[in-house]
Structure 1
């Protein structure tokens, strides 16, 4: 069997072993890195969680990576990952594209999860992770609302979810970036909003909409009442990254570090088991935006991310430099930002439909 052949496999089937003469399972890491050694007494998936928590992965990333690891193991007949290697990884990724028909981003997430598994949990590095069938990445233009349409949708929102929706359009931040804002990130004095640990764990600064200054001040006054209630009743402080919590143990109960958009209810931290107040849920904002769009723009699909697309497109249409828009959005590559040029209104082209000439 050559290294390009994909073997049959799946739940209940015992995969054939890879050819060791042609392909080593694991090789030493190509670059040195500080590897955390998990507790060997833990179950394997708990060892994966322990390493991810040491690396300070977000809970969502942890859940996604553990899920992909579990699916990889089950698909390979519940064999231990130490018994497998690049051959099985390639076959699994091909299965996702050819049989499950997943999208390119989903397949890439699975690849990242398995690379992490072998590099940092098992302690080696997979070689030759290519030659598998790639999921097709469709070329789609983003859904963008006109400015009147944005006003119509926002006009149908109210309360905290309405304020968050306005912030999404006014700043261009992603939904989870908005929900994870702390009080200290809203810089009223300098007129800017600081986004920490955005996509790719990068920080950036974005604009502070002048029209949201007073609504946000009123909102934070209500949040402070909730904050003082929690302090009075001895509720644990808000979640902080482990390193920061060790360095600043009282930061979690300080006003500056509170969530700007806290949940109305207390919840149990799935990692520590502590009862505390988390930020508002993404689902509540998504439902509010979809309901507002249903009333304002029947038949048009609108999500919270649509506001980010509209923010970028409207800035470009108003003449803002594309590099500035790139920085505000936090895009690593300007090519990602250029997708919005395809949906801009370009009256200067002077092109008329032939139907209008008849």
Structure 2
């Protein structure tokens, strides 16, 4: 018998092989993960927190991703996609409630951001594999689109609500609760693509993640995935703080976040064409755009011209879209049966390590000017481009 208490027991014949509900929960989890980003300035002023503190709150999210990805990905390969993705997606709403309580007790913001990392890691690892198995031909691009849309819409909406609503550090989070209340029940109707019973013989191999040790992962994924977020998060967290605007600053921060990630979505048609010609063209074009965007960011800070932030956001955002699609696609191509979600999780771990970039630059900025740091980062990005170009 099916009960409301256990929706996961929905009869198999009533389930559907539809990737869209899974993409919707990934959109919602991405929304919840990034809605905090556009509120950094508001937390700084309302709660009298230092810039280093709010950047640390932003970055601690990446620490939560490590256990979320490392455990969620291989566990999904072993026990099934639904068993991991759906409970953690439901927990995303609970994490948002913790962040709402952080307006009264700032220590909860650290806990909420850490938990957001765990939840996001588990859902992205399991959900990416789930969508890929539901839609083999377009799963990688669909995942990139869903995640990018959530990452962009979340901070923009949170910023607009916070800019003009009462009690902004609470009301800014309400839209996410509505989204998850709609998305999670819909995803319970989607079929399981990797039943646990089918994995009894391959579970141990999945937890070992032998694919990480392959030369292809080190040559073609590692040098690229670490740049996916390292550069674009600087566009919407570091740069608005370094070159601030004085009119509607919260809405401005949300707009820069949305613009960065919207550019990533807009780059998908280009990604599709480049991938058809050669998958590593995505990496080359994306890394070249990252280097150029970081140089433009250095110029923006040096000149003190916030108007350049939009150009930086578009350039780094488009590069983000190419590099994310490339990283997920490369992993899907090299993954053996039973390790898709686990290897995807490792790629995401590299991707999200880049979220520490604003924290590192803020601290190093006490010793070296930010334009010099951004120029050095551009040099490293171009060195990675050279490395990938030699790897064919």
- TM-score by structure 1 length? 0.24
- TM-score by structure 2 length? 0.22
Larger radius of gyration: 1
